[in-house]
Amino acid sequence: MDLTQQDWVSQLEADEKAVILDVRTEDEFNDGIIENAINIDIHKGQGFISEIEALDKDKNYYVYCRSGARSGKACEVMNELGFKNAYNLAGGILAWNGDVVAP
């Protein structure tokens, strides 16, 4: 599900089961992240699937990439794998107005 930054942030802040997931490459991740994000690169193909499958399906995932395209795809994959709550940050980190920190 695509959420605007405002909805993504307000839902995230109220969510005790939230996990922030960055699906960019390691190089992009190292350039700066949304605080507390974990990195699983969607370009890893089967490696991405394996790492996603190891995550707790009872958590709620707030997913982002650079522009929102890869994270939208990641949310679709997560839904297919049985994750009920995967939220895509529309516009990605390019549209992010909040803080960006070093990983």
Residue 63 corresponds to which tokens in the numbers above? 């997913």
86: β partners: 61
75 given a catalytic annotation: no
How many Cα atoms sit within 13 Å of 93 on the Cβ side? 22
pLDDT of residue 64: 98
63: β partners: 21, 88
Angle between helices 69-80 and 46-53 (to 10 degrees): 60
Catalytic residue among 37, 65, 75, 93: 65
| Structural domains of the chain ordered from first start | 2-95 (3.40.250.10)
Q: What is the pLDDT along the chain (103 residues), one digit of tens a residue?
A: 999 999 999 999 999 999 999 999 999 999 999 999 999 999 999 999 999 999 999 999 999 999 999 999 999 999 999 999 999 999 999 999 999 999 9
